[in-house]
Amino acid sequence: MPARALAVPRDIPGPVVRHAALGRRYAAPGPAYPCYPPPTSLVPQIGPADYREALERSNQAARPLSLYVHVPFCRQACFHCTRRPVTTTHHRHVEPYLSRLDREMVLTARHLDKGRQVEHLHWGGGTPTFLSLDQMGDLIDRLDARFGLSSARDRDYVIEIDPREADVFTLRHLEALGFNRLRLGVLDLDPRVQRAINRVQPAGLTEQLVDEADRLGFRALDMDLVVGLPCQTRAGFADTLEQVLALAPSRLTLAHYAHAPERFALQRQVRKADLLEPLERLAILEVALARLEAAGYVRIGLDRFVRPGLAAASSPLPARDRIGLGVSAMSRLAGLYTRNPVRLTDYEAALDQGRLPTTSGRWLSPDDRLRAAAIEGLTRDLRLDLDTLGASFGVDARAHLADALVRLRDAEQEGLVAYREQRLGVTRPGQLALRHLAAAFDAYRS
């Protein structure tokens, strides 16, 4: 069935969403899949004993480690936020958290063989650079003492940066501490959008940090943008993209704003009148994808793109055991997926009682692994070879994923996916609904 042309307001410049099917069925942003199974599938029956077992079991394969450290503090709350930040203006509020992080490191590291390489370190938040320079140094020292950090040139040590909470001194300090990749939260440079989400950050802040990062020789500089924010327009976002592309980020993440005030209290402060029509969000996404393609950026995953020439170095990701530290942090190793409490008081209480704070999780089944590989392959390559996938898991993937292929029938009719023999491919319009196409493989979605 051919897709019908869709009427789009004439006063908004830029390409249009040409497929009525997209507007009708795929207007909502869809799930982000930071991982599969999704966090919503984790069950409370999994606790510290499972996590200890997985930590010890992981020593047999002795894969390199990836450490994620969550720093939940922010000076000021952005209205679009889904991360449940702890807002404070006092650095002294951080100290008790750092002590508990250290306790968690001790409880975790005692189950790991010494000498396992920490190839990857990621500080996320919240705002990791809300920490004072001394607190950052202290945290790095503790991580090094507990796990042994790497000084190898090919280590990947990344920190998320809110440009309002960092300056040239911060970057020099981070470089001295061993970070070699920065991830800047740019979101949208349109002042109207910034006011609507209570996050005013002039473009000059970002440019200054990029200049300094270049001078200091950081290996990579990534930027995060968000599509669908309140007050966003095609013209405004195209302008943001031009300014961002001029800074030549190594990687770009194009996240999607999902308005869910019933789940995220901060979003209740977003003015209803500032919200976008669902179709407009798709139109902005279409503008963005076209511009990234024209600039030569290559997709390396759901919402993630890499600068021309860097794609080969970015994918696939090396196999590492991931250890999450801090409130709401997630871990994945030895076939187990776990999460720490989302509420700070629960996280603190567990550590004050001397136990690991694992609060939920899931042991991965062969089916989980197959579906995770399908989602990762489809969102990275925009195609999925069912023969190859099945062979690598020793199953008939077409039969095993029959439910997903049935769910994709409508998308096939709408021209969003197409088959060539055993290979499933995402079409150009299908890229606008990629999250929904990935969701077809999710066995936990109702």
| 91 versus 215: smaller Cβ distance to ligand SF4 | 91
Q: Would you count residue 128 as binding ligand SF4 (CB under 6 A)?
A: no
Nearest approach, Cβ of residue 77 and ligand SF4 (Å): 5
Nearest approach, Cβ of residue 72 and ligand SF4 (Å): 8
Q: Which of 39, 126, 128, 429 binds ligand SF4 (CB under 6 A)?
A: 126
| Lookup: tokens for 167 | 């300056």
| 125 versus 228: smaller Cβ distance to ligand SF4 | 125
Sole window of 71-79, 175-183, 339-347, 415-423 interacting with ligand SF4 (rule: CB under 6 A) = 71-79
51 marked as part of a ligand binding site: no
Question: Locate tokens 């990621």: which residue?
Answer: 122
Taking the C-alpha atoms of residue 139 and residue 102, their distance in angstroms, rounded to an integer, is 8
Contact 75, 127 (CB under 8 A): yes
Nearest approach, Cβ of residue 384 and ligand SF4 (Å): 33
430 marked as part of a ligand binding site: no
Taking the C-alpha atoms of residue 98 and residue 96, their distance in angstroms, rounded to an integer, is 5
| 77 versus 158: smaller Cβ distance to ligand SF4 | 77
Nearest approach, Cβ of residue 341 and ligand SF4 (Å): 17
**Residues in contact with ligand SF4, shown as a per-residue x/- string from 136 to 165 under the rule CB under 6 A:** --------------------------x---
Cβ within 8 Å of residue 249, ≥6 positions away: 184, 221, 222, 223, 307
Q: Would you count residue 186 as binding ligand SF4 (CB under 6 A)?
A: no
Angle at 341 between CA 110 and CA 185, to 5 degrees: 100
Total residues contacting ligand SF4 (rule CB under 6 A)?
Answer: 10
Contact 146, 184 (CB under 8 A): no
Taking the C-alpha atoms of residue 329 and residue 344, their distance in angstroms, rounded to an integer, is 11
Nearest approach, Cβ of residue 161 and ligand SF4 (Å): 10
Question: Locate tokens 């209205």: which residue?
Answer: 79
**Residues in contact with ligand SF4, shown as a per-residue x/- string from 73 to 112 under the rule CB under 6 A:** -x--xx--x-x-x---------------------------
The set of long-range contacts for 201-207, using a CB threshold of 8 Å and a minimum separation of 24, is 201/162, 201/163, 201/164, 203/243, 205/163, 205/164, 206/163, 206/247, 207/247
3-state secondary structure of 378: helix
24 marked as part of a ligand binding site: no
> Beta 417-420 vs 423-426: how paired, if at all?
antiparallel
3-state secondary structure of 138: helix
Residue numbers at the binding site for ligand SF4 (CB under 6 A): 74, 77-78, 81, 83, 85, 125-127, 162
Output the known binding site for [4Fe-4S] cluster: 74, 78, 81
